[in-house]
Amino acid sequence: MSTGCGQTMAADSSAQTSGMALSSPAPKATGLKSALNTLFQEHVYLAAAATGAALDGREAEFKAAAGALDQNSMAIGRAIGSVYGPDAEQAFLPLWRKHIGFAVDYTVGVAGKDRAKQDKAVNDLIGYTRDFGAFLNSANPDLPTKVVADLVQHHVVTLKSVIDAQASKDQARAYTALRTAAGHMQAIADPLADAIAKQFPDRFGS
């Protein structure tokens, strides 16, 4: 266990994603940013793996991907907890899982060509973005609720594009959309890491 939470998060993320250990300690701020980027991008790739398998009827693969996605959710929760404490982690995890549930609802709606279910899931996801923004704003006043909500809404939109392309069996479009969706997560991870570093300069400052 390292002394800085940034390094702890980086090491945790590394272990979760690749099993590799950090060869040398990164600066705290850099390590924090890298860890959050890894976790959030992993979230997108695993979510897409799960939705792709679900839409293609590959049940065993869907279950495995969904399990891995939840492991990623717990890792993100631990990252939040390492900064804001166990209470925050306990509150964050159900909130985070909620949006995954809505994405599953959307995927089921697409698979069943159920427009009403799709619309409800999209509305739930859009509504969720406000909750997520409020949570991070509560944790860190340097993260305005609306700014975070807009960023997460873009995450929803980009992931929806992936699911729609997967459903239409357009693999080229699906993977292009997937790269876009994964790339967008930096727009969430970087400001979050910067705000945490500003809030706790002793722990995460450069």
Partner 1 sequence: MRRRWELGVVLAGAFGIAAVAPAPSSPGVEIQLFRFRPARLEVQPGTQVRWTNRDDITHTITGGTPEAPQAAFRLVLEGRGAVADGTFVERGTYPYFCERHHHMRGEIRVQ
| CB 171 to partner 1: min, Å | 38
Q: Which is nearer to partner 1, 138 or 171 (CB)?
A: 138
Region near partner 1 per CB under 8 A, out of 57-65, 129-137, 160-168, 195-203 = 129-137
Q: List, in order, residues 6 or more apart from 148 with CB less than 8 Å away.
A: 129, 132, 133, 136, 137, 188
Question: CA-CA distance, 48 to 69, in Å (whole number)?
Answer: 10
Give yes or no for residue 81 binding partner 1 (CB under 8 A).
no
Give yes or no for residue 145 binding partner 1 (CB under 8 A).
yes
> Within positions 14 to 73, which residues make up the interface with partner 1, using CB under 8 A?
none
Site string for partner 1, 85-124 (x = CB under 8 A): --xx-xxx-xx-----------------------------
Question: CA-CA distance, 61 to 65, in Å (whole number)?
Answer: 6
Cβ 134 vs Cβ 164: under 8 Å: no
Q: How far is CA 173 from the centre of its chain?
A: 21
Q: Which is nearer to partner 1, 88 or 126 (CB)?
A: 88
Compute and round to an integer the Cα radius of gyration of the chain.
17
Give yes or no for residue 135 binding partner 1 (CB under 8 A).
yes
Q: List, in order, residues 6 or more apart from 132 with CB less than 8 Å away.
A: 95, 96, 99, 148, 149, 152
Q: Which is nearer to partner 1, 68 or 95 (CB)?
A: 95
Give yes or no for residue 74 binding partner 1 (CB under 8 A).
no
Binding region for partner 1 (CB under 8 A):
84, 87-88, 90-92, 94-95, 130-131, 133-135, 137-139, 145
